[in-house]
Amino acid sequence: MALDTMAAPAVVLDLDGEVLLANVGAEAELGPAPRAAARLLARGSTAPEPGRSWRLTPLGRASEAIGFLAIGRTPPTEQALRAAVYAAGER
């Protein structure tokens, strides 16, 4: 399955927020109540893991979406941000 090749947690949700597919990282993060957590993600509410944001991408045309792909993103650490700024300054 393509979701399992992703390092980040990834979930495919239907329009009602039900989990259709989830990779191992998402299953571990969503825990024992994946439907409730998926509904939070679908509504854009607080992510299950503190500090994690989720990017939701409509599947299909925006006006005729059939569901969403949600990919978990962890914000970069302060050290990673400093390294990126330093690297950009070196160019």
- For domain 2-90, is the CATH number 1.10.150? no
pLDDT tens, residue by residue, 11-65? 898 888 788 888 988 888 777 766 666 655 655 544 455 566 788 888 988 788 8
CA atoms within 13 A on the CB side of 62: 1
Is the whole model's pTM more than 0.75, yes or no? Answer: no
Domain ranges of the chain: 2-90
Are 69 and 56 a contacting pair, CB within 8 Å? yes
Distance CA 74, CA 35 (A): 21
At 49 the pLDDT is 56
At 45 the pLDDT is 47
- Alpha carbon 20 to its chain's center: 14
